[in-house]
Structure 1
Amino acid sequence: MELFGLKTCDTCRKAIKALKDAHFVDVRTEGVPPEVMKAALAQFGPALINTRSTTWRALSDEQRQAPPLALLAEHPNLMKRPLISDGDTLHLGWTKDVQAALGVS
């Protein structure tokens, strides 16, 4: 299991603490493999981009129109976090539904 996020993100820290066997990948330093990002975009669509972030608000309207994969490659902290890859299954966020699906109580 891989957990993609930011080491400074409180939600990611909670997920890391609960998923002790997960391999943490900091998206700022290591990035997300292109095949995982493409699969996540196909599954989650626009929900993959955190439009409530300060980074999003700082972007111009022109920058916001960039293709999502290009936008996330340039600004990895725009990705909603955490993105969890559990085999062939992807989970986005750290909601009660995600926790239940991963067997975390």
Structure 2
Amino acid sequence: MLTLYVIDTCDTCRKARKALEDNGVPFKTHDLRKDGLSAELLEHILERVPLQDAVNKRSTTWRNLPQEDKDSLDATSARQLLLEHPTLLKRPLLDTGGDALKVGYRAGDYDKLSS
């Protein structure tokens, strides 16, 4: 079964969820804010998504970080920040169970998925 990693208040996440529902694709939802982001889940994601693609540098959370945290971002500090602030993870993330995760959503992205 597909897993859609979201934050409930994210408009793009809502659009992605609706697209899956409209296409009749079964999926489960994991809300990063409510359900959390464990170290194991983060590593699962980062095995499939490059770190630079996983950090949402357009988020309010990113903008509110101290400048020194942003300037010194490396693989270790990024992992720590993502665990402390799951809303820094780009979303939605669609896990199809394969080798890659689909990061983000644009209309039509899920049209080829079927139930």
Normalising by the residue count of structure 1, what TM-score does the alignment of the two structures yield?
Answer: 0.81
Q: Which position in structure 1 is the counterpart of 2:18? A: 17
User: Pairwise CA RMSD of aligned residues?
Assistant: 2.2
Q: 1:74 aligns with which of 64, 84, 87?
A: 84
Preserved contact between residue 49 and residue 78 of structure 1 (Cα < 8 Å): yes
Larger displacement relative to structure 2 (60-69 or 14-23): 60-69
Preserved contact between residue 83 and residue 93 of structure 1 (Cα < 8 Å): yes
Is 1:6 aligned with 2:17?
A: no
Which 5+ residue runs of structure 2 have no aligned equivalent? none
Larger Rg: 2
Preserved contact between residue 38 and residue 83 of structure 2 (Cα < 8 Å): no
Percent identity (aligned): 38
Which 5+ residue runs of structure 1 have no aligned equivalent? none
Kindly tell me the number of residue pairs found equivalent between the two proteins: 103
Q: Which position in structure 1 is the counterpart of 2:103? A: 92
Normalising by the residue count of structure 2, what TM-score does the alignment of the two structures yield?
Answer: 0.75
Higher helix share: 1
Q: Which position in structure 1 is the counterpart of 2:62? A: 56
Can you list the C-alpha shifts for 1:65-90, whole angstroms capped at 9, x where unaligned?
35222111101111111011111241
